[in-house]
Amino acid sequence: MKEHSLEIQSDTKKYLYWIILMFLIPLPWIVIKLSMLLGFFKWDYEHYAVFSALLTGISIIAGAFLVSWAAESSQEYLPPNLVLALIAIINVIPEYVVDIYFTWVAGNNPEYTHYAVSNMTGANRMLIGIVWPLILLVYLFARIREKKQNELPNYIQMEKSNILEISFLLLSTIYCFIIPFKGKLELIDTLILFLIFGVYIFLATKMGKKEPELEGPPLYISTLPEFKKKLLLTVMFVFAGITFLASAEPFGESLLIIGAKIAENFGFDPQLAKFLMVQWVAPIASESPEIIVVVIFAWKLLATDSFTTVVSSKINQWTLLVGFIPLVYYLSLVYHGHSGGPMVLDELQIHEIFLTAVQSFFALVILLDFKFTILKAVLISVPFFAQLLNPSIRMEVAYVYLILSFFALFFVINKNSLNMLKESVIEIIQRLKS
């Protein structure tokens, strides 16, 4: 057994260099940040905004890889249900560290409320509008590469057990529809959304869901001696945490400065430019590790696993991410000497959340037959890119998604899909009873 372990370690030693690389990438910015804190010099964000955004952006990406690998490698030390919950929470933290920063600042600067909401809605809509179709596209190319066109379908087939994800996507979407009509985010939202997430994780563990087998750096880590393994995992978690803390503020502020400069040079509205930078650029950096992983799964023709992962991520975003905002905002108000209260939303923010909820509802409807096809990918992505290119038509795009949802109900719901839904519900009940 020991010889076999050493053999695996030798074969996977190349992954050690990946880990080292992810430690090295954030070091330049951490040294700069530490020098600033010690008073050796003052960093001028105004003049070095692009450089700051690049340095801190890649630092966040590297930290996200480290914490993701460390979380995956920690499975052998924790109970399975705790591992599932821990990994889900850890995966959210690096993705939304910038959003938490904007929310915290909003407690003392109301202007930042716009940025907190824009980052949250951008991350949510990008996952469905870009990542879902991307997975299908990569899978189709991999299918052609492997010359398996006749063996594999030209769509992603979900499993019956995915009724769990579909059900909780429905539940979280319905609740998030309520928020635009309330016009505010408050602590009751945190409580309910965290509760939805907790029940989802509990039921997932009852169904016997397991994390995928270790690959890449986590596989190498698993071959290390016990002491070295625990030490490395601890250092990875701590170093990633330091990276996030050092990078969140400068990354967010640099994006705002870049947005303002773009507006100044091209005659845009400065507030709109900053809003869009936070909405679309920040999520690309924070979500890139997860996107890379699911794309690799799709390239290996593991399209169902890849797609299930991003559907589950959507649930995490609708619950953990949205739930964090009113909690962090409340704590920030109290910390800055204000009376704690809800985050009141203006018209733009209400429209943003409504559009995100409608897109989520449409995505849910088209999955009711457990298939994600080329046509569905087009119907999801075209309205998304239309609003991306013309941000002012967000409500028009929301109505388009609503109309498409009602049409999709007629075409997606048929005898076969109803039977599959029925069988899936029966299967999940049986699993929960066992």
Q: Pick from 287, 381, 349, 312: which is nearest to 172 by CA?
A: 312
Query: What phi and psi, each to the nearest 5 degrees, are found at residue 224?
Result: -75, 155
Q: What distance in Å separates the CA atoms of residue 205 and residue 84, rounded to the nearest whole number?
A: 8
Report which of residues 269 and 183 the model is more confident about: 183
Whether the per-residue pLDDT at 146 is higher than 80: the answer is: yes
pLDDT value of position 92: 61
Whether the per-residue pLDDT at 2 is higher than 80: the answer is: no
Q: Return the minimum-mean-pLDDT range out of 48-52, 310-314, 364-368.
A: 310-314
The share of the chain scoring above pLDDT 90, in percent, equals 34
Q: What would the two tokens of residue 117 be?
A: 């909401």
Q: What would the two tokens of residue 99 be?
A: 């959003």
Q: What distance in Å separates the CA atoms of residue 222 and residue 74, rounded to the nearest whole number?
A: 9
Instruction: For 243-258, write each residue's pLDDT tens digit.
Output: 988 888 888 888 889 9
Helices 415-433 and 163-182 cross at an angle (nearest 10°) of: 100
pLDDT value of position 200: 85
pLDDT value of position 41: 77
Mean pLDDT, range 55-83, rounded to an integer: 76
Q: What distance in Å separates the CA atoms of residue 59 and residue 24, rounded to the nearest whole number?
A: 9
Whether the per-residue pLDDT at 408 is higher than 70: the answer is: yes
Q: What is 2-433's CATH number, 1.20.1420.30, 3.40.50.2300, 3.50.50.60, 3.40.50.1370?
A: 1.20.1420.30
What contacts 108, CB < 8 A, 6 or more positions away?
Answer: 332, 336, 338
Distance of CA 217 to the CA centre of its chain: 21
State the number of CA atoms in the 13 A half-sphere of 176 facing the CB: 33
What contacts 217, CB < 8 A, 6 or more positions away?
Answer: 15, 16, 18, 19, 69, 73
Report which of residues 166 and 354 the model is more confident about: 354
In this prediction, residue 69 has a pLDDT band, given cuts at 50, 70 and 90, of confident
Helix, strand, or coil (residue 343): strand
pLDDT value of position 85: 52
Q: Return the minimum-mean-pLDDT range out of 100-104, 269-273, 412-416.
A: 412-416
pLDDT value of position 119: 85
Mean pLDDT, range 287-308, rounded to an integer: 81
Q: What distance in Å separates the CA atoms of residue 154 and residue 131, rounded to the nearest whole number?
A: 17
Whole-angstrom CA distances from 149 to 139, 140, 146 are 11, 9, 8
- When computed from its CA atoms, the radius of gyration of the chain, rounded to whole angstroms, is 22
Q: Would you list the domain boundaries of the chain?
A: 2-433
Whether the per-residue pLDDT at 91 is higher than 70: the answer is: no
Work out the end-to-end distance of the chain between its first and last CA atoms, rounded to an integer number of angstroms. 34
